Each structure stands twice: as C-alpha cells, then as structure tokens.
Chain A
Amino acid sequence: MSNIGRSVQREDVEGKVTGETRYGGDLRGPETLTAAVIRAAHPHAKILAIDLAPARAIEGVVAVLGREDIGGTNRHGLIKRDHPVFCDERVRYLGDALGMVIAETPEAAKRGVEAVRVQYEVLPVVATMRDAIAPDAPALHDFGNVLATQLIRKGDAAKSLAESDVVLTHTFAMQGVDHAFLDLEAGYAEMVEDVVTIHASGQWVHEERRLIALALGLALERVRIVQPATGGAFGGREDLSIQIYLGLAALTLGRPVRMQYTREESMIARHKRHPMEIEYTLGAKKDGTFTAAKVIIRSDEGAYASTGPAVLRKAVSHCTGPYRVPNVEADGVALFTNNCPTGAMRGFGACQLAIAYEGMVLAMARALGMDVVALKRKNLLRDGECLTTGQVVPVASAIDCLDAALARFGWADRAREAPSPTVRRGYGVSTFCFGVGYGDGYPDASRARVRFADDNVLEVYSGGVEVGQGLHSLLAQIAGEEFGIESSAVRVIASDTARTPESGSSSATRQTVFSGNAVKLAAGELHRQVMDAAAVMLGLHWEDLVIKGDRVVGVHHESVAAPLAWVLASARERGFLLDATAVYKPRTVAPVDDSGQSPRAFLTYMFGAHIAEVWVDIETGEARVKRIVAAHDVGKAINPREVAGQIEGGVAQGLGMALMEEVVTRNGRILNASFTDYIIPTILDVPTIDAVIVERVDLEGPYGARGVGEPPLIGAVPAVLAAISDAIGRPVHQTPATAERVWTIMQSPEPTLVTTWSLS
C-alpha cells in the first residue's frame, strides 16, 4: 500500500486535541525569570536619553538590559539588516524596542518596563505613503524613504493601449492585515553549557540562528534554536520577534527566562501584510483578447524593510496573473512610513495583485458586454505559454481548475432569484496563479537526512518547521514510501538547529516541493544502501531484490527472502551507517536585464479557480458568503485531507481579508490592536467550502506534488469581491468590503453595471 495520496492521520493531532501539546507559552524551567520589552512611546522620535535606573530599583527586577548590553551588530532583518534589536538613536514605529526588563515575576517585569524613563524629541510622523514622498518628508532611513522599486517591461504597452478597442483604468486599495495566529509569541531560553538554547516558534530556525548570532555577536555554535509546537504562522513568524530577547536575557544572566507577548503587543510589534494602492490599466480588442496592461503599485513598507523588496517583486511579477497579456509595463515602489513594518503574509504580494487583475477582468467583461467566464477562457494561459516574466509554464492549469470549479458548483443551474426584497444574490469567479519558492535566483534549498536508527526505526531529520500545515507528517509519508513503511512508524526529528540539517523556511509554499524532494532523495540513497547490504547478504544482485512489507525478497526468486531487520543488522555488522543526507537545490534565475524578465523566476507555478456565492443586503451593505468552491491544482495531493484543510483555512482567511479584517492606523498608531476590535471570521461567518483537488503532475515536486499553502487565500478574496460586485452592480475595489464600504459604493452616482452571464 502506498503512503502517497492517503489521508493519514498526523502525528500531532492527538496532543492538540487533548491539550497535551506544549506550545511556546507552556515552557518553563527551574526558577524561570520573565522578560518584557520596553517599547517606543512615539511612532517617530529621536532618543535623547534613556534612564533604566528606576526599573532596576523595582522589587523583583533582576536586570534591565539596553543597547550597551548587545555585543554584535544590534541589527536583524531578512533581506536588509536594518531592524535594531534595541534602538539607539531613533524610534521609527511604536513597536520599536529600547531595552528589556527581566524579573522574578511577570508583574515585576511589567512594573519595571513602566518605570523606565525615556526622553524623546518627537519628530513628524510619516503616516501615509503620500507623506513619505512629500518634498519635505523626513527621511526614515539614510537612503531616504524608498526601500525598493521593481518593474516589468514586456513588448510596448503604451503603443498597444493606444491601438486597443477598449481601455479601462481602475484604482484599487488593500488594507494592512494581521496574521492573527492564536499562539501568541511565547518562548523559553536557557544556557546549556555555553550554548544559548532558545525554544520559540519561528518559520526558519537556521536563519533565526544566524540573525541572532550576528546581532548579539556570538559564534554560530553558541546559538541553538528549537521550535516547540506552533499554533499558526502565515508569514507572521518570519521576522525575528521574542527569540532574540530571550537569547540575550539567558546569555546575560545565565538563568532560564521565558516571555510572552500580549495580543496587543503582538499586534503592535509584529509586521503586517502590505497595504497597497494599485492603478491598473487594461486594454483589449473588441473580441475580448487582452492587449496590454499598465500597472503602478505603491506598497506601504512601514518602518523597516522586512521582506518588502521580495514582496514587491512578487507583486510585480504576478501583475497579470494567469492571463496572456503580450504587452506589460509595471512599476512598483515600496515606501517607508512610521507604520508597523510590513512583510511576509500568506499571499506575499501576489494576493493584492490578484484583487487588482481580477477586478480588471470583471470590469472588462462588463465593458465588452461579455460573459466573464468566456473572457477568462479567451485569455487564460495554456500549457507551454509565457507568464509576464517571460517564463514558460509547462502546466498552466487555471483553465482546468476553472472547469472543475464550475462543474462542482453546478454553475449552469445556479439560482438567480433574490432571496428577499432587500437581499440580492451575487456570484464571483476568480482565477489566479502563484510562483512556488523564493524565486528570482535567491538561494533556496532544503536538506534532509534519513536513516535507520539503532532500534531499526526509520528516522527523518529536517530543519523544516511545523506551523500547523502538516509538514512533518508529509515528510514521514515520503520517507516511508521508499521502504513501504507506514508514515506513523516513521520517526521525525525536526526544527532543531543542533540536530537537523537546514531546510529553509516554512513559507513561500515551498516545503512540499523542497523538503519533500530532499527527503525523497535522501530516502532513495538510504534505500540503495539497504539494498546493497541485502545483495551481499542474500547473494543476489541488488536489482533483483525488492522490499515487500517487512522483508527483502528476490524479484524473481520469492524463496530468497530475509526480514528487513536482519538486513539492517547485517549491514551494521559490515560497517554501514544506514544514514543518508541529500540536498534539493533547484535553479531559479534573477531578472536577466532591466526589463524584469526571467526565464525561470519561480521553480513552478500553482493555478486555481474559486467561485463564491454571496448575499448582499442592499439596504445595509452587509455581505454574507454562502458558499465557496475552491479548485486548486496541487500536482499530487500527498495527503488529500491535509490539502483540503489548507484550502479551507486559506479560504477562511481570505474571506476575513475580503470582508472584515483591517489594521486601522492613524498617525502611526494602530487603533484596533486587540481581538475585540481586529475582527477575524468566526465559524458562523465561514460558509460551506468545497475543496476541489485538481492533480496535473508537477515536473519538479515529489510524486508530482506542487504544494498548496498560499493560493487558497489568494483566490478567495477576488471571488468574494466579484460576487458582491455582481449583487450590487458596482465595482468593489477596496478591501475589506465592510457593510459600510459596500453601502457607500451603492450610494455613489455611478450607473449600475450589469454582469453578463452565459451558461458556459
């Protein structure tokens, strides 16, 4: 029986359901101290003086640490090293840290933080992107307020637009979004001999180790990161958070330390999804054939770079999505402000652009009087065609996903009548794509080790972190597959910098392809070692042997057989280690010239199609999503139930972004930094989600798998917006589409648009 394509039960399910699983906040050692961070009082200010002495005088406070206690660069950041551990001259947002208090109790730590006196010279706040580019804007970094620019030049967009039959321009605006994972930043650190050992949840333990070692001025060997059980990440654990404070505290005091953010601190300190403004011009011929796109993207970067340059590149390189647009001129700019830094979040720039290009496709269908599904069919890429970056996609399966979604939805028979005199029914269809991995030539590799342990249990070692997505179970399925061993019998040792090889981040929808392949390669090598040993033991050529159940048997001579355990014992007696390591490091290519074109910007692309049914109260603007069908080409679903789970979770998160989630920021302050006011969907807000798994074999991934993580969110947002738009007859180009926004759109004088639907 194959492990692949089976909905095996994950190894972490039971503990999570019974409550036995220990997350970062559950970890403690003997006589553990509590640490708390001293944060900025202003979004933008010069630091004149910091007086830590009053905090030291508080009863129960053990130590107060500041900039002078840091031995290294005092900087971290995933792309640019621009984020200070403790600010020395200036604070640039309210989450900036100035120092930390370590105390016997959480209460004493809090009192210590409150006792610190800081003298500031308050500086003007760069609150918006408009502020950032004003002629007299204060420069937030040495090089100004422009973090990055990105562009695409393909064909001649200006000329083509001038010759197009229909040219439409629309403006889109997307909000800041919080990751809202339930497992708050929390962890524990201690010194084990002279190694700072940090138990805290991130997304890439080996990179976190490097960043901490550099910032604190430690040799790499003196930092160890171990990931505890993690309750969600969604990109929100990519930038460093508590790990570095925990490490500094344990290192300085030599005592066990723990810390945990409050929800408010988590929301103020942690990066967000980039708010973006997009101006989009799309041209088409009378028959609907797209001719050209001109796209301008402005991205609010907040105070520090985080992964901003990569997010901007992903936005630009996905600006026409899964459509064939021969002429493209796209320009993106990322601007610093005094808002919360913005960085990675599920969708990584591609999500905002999907809202824009799908909004344009819908607008174009209306302008042409065409059925939007027919317009999509006309312009969706087919196998072997080129994306905007010039990259050829061998499997361009948006069209397959569209067909699968329409069939599952029962599109031809969908109801059209209004549910009540004040409620209208709307349908929205989205098609989209997403590049897997870091891409653009950025170093991207996964390593894995697979071995038979002394107790003959098959072991997988991976640095890849489990953040809720089911990675470790998937790696066990793949390793076991090579030996016919059930995944539940495979032991996974993971995400510990002292014990596991580096496997890159759990982000960019990359782990199934990257770590999956690394494990498959290592398992394949181990399989060769075992078969060699069996060949010697049984006197047959290794090609004439095969593993069947728990035995090695002759392919042509079933009478020749030995228990696998005997073979392993024999191998060890002859000095074999039964231990294999492999690296999977495929090539991607940076833009080859100043046109932004790349023959392989991303390793592979995922495609999908969603259909949403939304009911809109036309008097109040309230929109309720009644049903979503989400079809995704995942190449091969290694664990179909987990794939469906990722699709359902991504759709729910996308529904939140479409309808309610919004980080409201005024003058550098977040007004809704709590779960009372930052509204995420509850179970009552999430409708039936039909996950449709399409499997067109990927050329790169293990067993043809392509991954699933991010695209379900990307597809849900434009589908919901299109459905609202269908219900109210107006474009909806701003997120979230709250009742008030939808109502406001309906009050505007613009004439009602009619969506033309055909029974396609």
Chain B
Amino acid sequence: MIYHRPQSIDEALALKSSLGQRARFIAGGTDLVVGIRKGRTTVDSFVDLSRVPGLAGLTRAGDTLRIGAACTHAQLEREGITALAQACETVGGPQIRNMGTLGGQVGTASPAGDVSVALIALDAVVELASVRGTRSMPLADFFVGPGRTSLEPDEMVLSVTVPTNRKSVFYKIGKRDAVAISVVVAAASVSPSGDVAVGLGCVAPVPFRPRKSEQMLRGHPLTSERIDAAAAMAASEVSPISDHRGGATYRRAMVETLTRRLLRTLADTPYEGLLSVAMSHS
C-alpha cells in the first residue's frame, strides 16, 4: 500500500492518471475506509486530497456557490442554503460531518445519499477534472447507478456549484434521529422564476429527479391542487425496492407525502424565512 500526498490538484490528477483504477482518492475516508475494512473495496494506493490547496474552497460568484470537493459536511451546514444545510445536519454524527467531504458524498453515488438528494434538488452542476482537462454536467446526470458515476478512471470530482437564489427545503425519514441511513429522503427547491426541482432518495437506483412531476409544475403557481397532482406523479415515477430498511409500498407513499409537504412549504414560506422553517417536529 502506497500513500501519496500531492501538493496540488495537477499533481493529484497526474498521480491518478499514472496509477490507474486501483489508486483511490481519499479525503475524509468515511466511506472508503469502511468499504476497505468490509472487503468491498480493494485499494493499491491512496492519493490524499485532504491537504491539496484550493480543493476545500467555497467561492461565491453572483447567485452561485462553488463548493470545492474537499469541503466537509460540517462546513456546508453553515452556508445558508436551506436544503443543503438541513441535509448535511442529518449526515452521520458530528465526527462524520467533520471528516466526510462533498467529493466523497457525490462520488460514492449512494441512492440514499442525503446530501446528493439535496444537491440535485438545487439543480447542482458537478465539475470533473483530469489531466485531460475539466468538464461539467448536471449532478443528476452524473449518477448512473448504485455506486456508479460518470467519472472516468483518471477523473476526480473537483467541485459542485449550486445556485444561492433558490428557496429550498429537505426532509428525511430515518429509523432514528442521527447516524441513520434514510428510509426515504426528499428535497425541493424553487427558483426566482418559479422553476421547481425535486430530489428523491432511496426510491430509485440513483438520487432521483421526478422530471414529469417537475414538468407539471413548470410555469404554474404552486396551488394546492397542482401540488397534489405533482406529488402523485412523483410517486408514479419512482421505482423503490423493499429491503430491511423499508418496504416499497411505504417508500412510494412517502414520496407522495414528502413531495407534497415540501412543495407546500415552498409555496407557503416567504423567501427569507426558509432557514428557520422547522420541517421536523423534533
């Protein structure tokens, strides 16, 4: 096992390019190390990103926030983007949130990734880099299956950019109030022009956007009737499975319930008031 500690993004990318598939980027290690211990992941060498300058930066430009891949969940709890903050607050416990990074969150591509669900609901864009250059794509398109992404073997997640001018909100159903993998998780946001985006977790092979439901809302005010119809549509778009965390029937029903609840909250809440919205009664 070789442990590399590159001093720049370029050096990290060059290392990954030469070391290949079985070299893994590591930052917080909160998922990778667990996978290695359980024998799910085999790693020949690590490329440590935790001290690479410029990778943990938060950059505001206009109505966007660019989040460096090495930013921790704990940092993002404080950035004033409601759904993102609420999602980050529910991840693991304080120790995990202090270590786990955004790059690891999206790179893991868990269908139950709470923060990934919040990010796709914010219409986030992910930026990927390799020695060949950089490219960007909507985060929702980045996920291709459970644990699978569009990353090429020599690529890394460089950043995720989210708008700062959307109202957003998040809700998670877990089996307990901390350190719990979600049973169902949902987030939604609305842009100043009224475009609605919804993110759903644990109900499809990837963090999922119910496009038909979103389409139904496009260009219409968020009336109670329209919200109900869109929520029902979202429930028809998902493909949940039954496992030891929850049944498909419940998950599908909760997609409708949570979509309706989140959209109503967006409709009812003044633009500035969202950070203080108590979604959970806990």
The answer on a CB contact under 8 Å between A743 and B250 is yes
- Known A-B contacts A676-B181, A740-B250, A743-B250; the reply to A620 vs B257 at CB < 8 A is yes
The answer on a CB contact under 8 Å between A740 and B246 is yes
Residues of chain A within 8 A (CB-CB) of B180 are 679
Interface residues of A in 543-600 (CB under 8 A from B): none
The answer on a CB contact under 8 Å between A660 and B173 is no
Contact mask B257-282 → A, CB, 8 Å, 1/0?
11001000000000000000000011
A625 to chain B, nearest CB (A): 10
CB nearest neighbor in B for A616: B281
Give the segment of A160-168, A680-688, A692-700 that binds chain B.
A680-688
The answer on a CB contact under 8 Å between B175 and A660 is yes
Interface residues of B in 120-147 (CB under 8 A from A): none
Cα-based distance from A320 to B268 in the complex (angstroms): 51
The answer on a CB contact under 8 Å between B247 and A740 is yes
B254: interface (CB < 8 Å): yes
Contact mask B139-180 → A, CB, 8 Å, 1/0?
000000000000000000000000000000000010111111
The answer on a CB contact under 8 Å between A682 and B178 is yes
Cross-chain contact of B281 among A617, A680, A683, A685 (Cβ < 8 A): A617
Cross-chain contact of A679 among B93, B175, B243, B254 (Cβ < 8 A): B175
Residues of chain A within 8 A (CB-CB) of B177 are 624, 682, 684-685
Residues of chain B within 8 A (CB-CB) of A681 are 176
Cα-based distance from A615 to B278 in the complex (angstroms): 15
The answer on a CB contact under 8 Å between A420 and B281 is yes
Interface residues of A in 685-739 (CB under 8 A from B): 685, 738-739
A619: interface (CB < 8 Å): yes
Interface residues of B in 220-253 (CB under 8 A from A): 243-247, 250, 253
Cα-based distance from A671 to B179 in the complex (angstroms): 18
Cα-based distance from A660 to B243 in the complex (angstroms): 15
Cα-based distance from A305 to B218 in the complex (angstroms): 63
Residues of chain A within 8 A (CB-CB) of B261 are 422, 619
- Known A-B contacts A619-B261, A624-B282, A740-B183; the reply to A685 vs B176 at CB < 8 A is yes
A744: interface (CB < 8 Å): yes
A423: interface (CB < 8 Å): yes
The answer on a CB contact under 8 Å between A684 and B281 is no
A622: interface (CB < 8 Å): yes
A137: interface (CB < 8 Å): no
The answer on a CB contact under 8 Å between B245 and A677 is yes
A587 to chain B, nearest CB (A): 45
Residues of chain B within 8 A (CB-CB) of A617 are 281
A260 to chain B, nearest CB (A): 14
Cα-based distance from A664 to B173 in the complex (angstroms): 19
Residues of chain A within 8 A (CB-CB) of B178 are 682-685
The answer on a CB contact under 8 Å between B253 and A743 is yes
Residues of chain B within 8 A (CB-CB) of A624 are 177, 281-282
Cα-based distance from A423 to B278 in the complex (angstroms): 13
The answer on a CB contact under 8 Å between A744 and B250 is yes
Residues of chain B within 8 A (CB-CB) of A420 are 281
Residues of chain A within 8 A (CB-CB) of B176 are 659-660, 679-682, 684-685
A198 to chain B, nearest CB (A): 28
B240 to chain A, nearest CB (A): 12
- Known A-B contacts A664-B244, A740-B246, A740-B250; the reply to A682 vs B281 at CB < 8 A is no
The answer on a CB contact under 8 Å between A620 and B175 is no
A196 to chain B, nearest CB (A): 32
Cross-chain contact of A682 among B93, B183, B244 (Cβ < 8 A): B93
CB nearest neighbor in A for B93: A682
Residues of chain B within 8 A (CB-CB) of A619 are 257, 261
Cα-based distance from A619 to B264 in the complex (angstroms): 14
The answer on a CB contact under 8 Å between B246 and A671 is no
Question: Between A and B, how many residue pairs show CB distances below 8 Å?
Answer: 58
A713 to chain B, nearest CB (A): 18
B221 to chain A, nearest CB (A): 22
A149: interface (CB < 8 Å): no
Residues of chain B within 8 A (CB-CB) of A672 are 244
CB nearest neighbor in B for A661: B175
Residues of chain A within 8 A (CB-CB) of B281 are 419-420, 423, 615, 617, 624
CB nearest neighbor in A for B258: A620
- Known A-B contacts A672-B244, A676-B181, A677-B245; the reply to A738 vs B175 at CB < 8 A is yes
The answer on a CB contact under 8 Å between B282 and A671 is no
CB nearest neighbor in B for A423: B281
Q: Which of B175, B247, B253, B254 has the most CB of A within 10 A?
A: B175
Residues of chain A within 8 A (CB-CB) of B245 are 677
Residues of chain B within 8 A (CB-CB) of A679 are 175-176, 180
A716 to chain B, nearest CB (A): 16
Residues of chain B within 8 A (CB-CB) of A659 are 176
Residues of chain A within 8 A (CB-CB) of B173 are 620, 622, 739
A672 to chain B, nearest CB (A): 5
Residues of chain B within 8 A (CB-CB) of A738 are 175
Cα-based distance from A672 to B258 in the complex (angstroms): 26
Residues of chain B within 8 A (CB-CB) of A660 are 175-176
The answer on a CB contact under 8 Å between A677 and B244 is yes
Cα-based distance from A640 to B232 in the complex (angstroms): 55
Residues of chain B within 8 A (CB-CB) of A740 are 183, 246-247, 250
Residues of chain B within 8 A (CB-CB) of A671 are 243-244
CB nearest neighbor in A for B34: A676
CB nearest neighbor in B for A741: B250
CB nearest neighbor in B for A620: B173
Residues of chain B within 8 A (CB-CB) of A744 are 250
Cα-based distance from A502 to B180 in the complex (angstroms): 43
A679 to chain B, nearest CB (A): 4
The answer on a CB contact under 8 Å between B183 and A739 is yes
CB nearest neighbor in B for A744: B250
CB nearest neighbor in A for B184: A620
B37 to chain A, nearest CB (A): 9
Residues of chain B within 8 A (CB-CB) of A622 are 173
Q: Which of A664, A672, A738 has the most CB of B within 10 A?
A: A738
A660 to chain B, nearest CB (A): 5
A661 to chain B, nearest CB (A): 9
Residues of chain B within 8 A (CB-CB) of A682 are 93, 176-179
A105 to chain B, nearest CB (A): 16
Cross-chain contact of B254 among A423, A620, A684 (Cβ < 8 A): A620
Cα-based distance from A691 to B245 in the complex (angstroms): 33
CB nearest neighbor in A for B179: A682
Interface residues of B in 167-210 (CB under 8 A from A): 173, 175-181, 183
Cα-based distance from A208 to B116 in the complex (angstroms): 51
Cα-based distance from A218 to B94 in the complex (angstroms): 51
Cα-based distance from A685 to B282 in the complex (angstroms): 9
Cα-based distance from A682 to B261 in the complex (angstroms): 27
B175 to chain A, nearest CB (A): 4
Cα-based distance from A419 to B281 in the complex (angstroms): 8
Residues of chain B within 8 A (CB-CB) of A615 are 281
Cα-based distance from A624 to B173 in the complex (angstroms): 12
Cα-based distance from A364 to B183 in the complex (angstroms): 35
Residues of chain A within 8 A (CB-CB) of B250 are 739-740, 743-744
Q: Which of B176, B254, B257 has the most CB of A within 10 A?
A: B176
A429 to chain B, nearest CB (A): 23
CB nearest neighbor in A for B257: A619
B137 to chain A, nearest CB (A): 30
CB nearest neighbor in B for A672: B244
Cα-based distance from A681 to B250 in the complex (angstroms): 22
Chain A positions near chain B (C-beta within 8 angstroms): 419-420, 422-423, 615, 617, 619-620, 622, 624, 659-660, 664, 671-672, 676-677, 679-685, 738-740, 743-744
A-B contact pairs, 12 of them (CB 8 A): A420-B281, A423-B281, A617-B281, A619-B257, A620-B254, A620-B258, A664-B244, A671-B244, A676-B181, A682-B179, A739-B175, A740-B247
Closest 5 pairs (CB-CB, A-B): A684-B177, A664-B244, A740-B250, A679-B175, A671-B244
Question: Beyond A682-B178, A739-B250: 18 further Cβ-contacts under 8 Å?
Answer: A422-B261, A620-B173, A620-B258, A671-B244, A672-B244, A679-B175, A679-B176, A680-B176, A681-B176, A682-B176, A684-B176, A684-B177, A684-B282, A685-B176, A739-B175, A739-B183, A740-B247, A743-B253
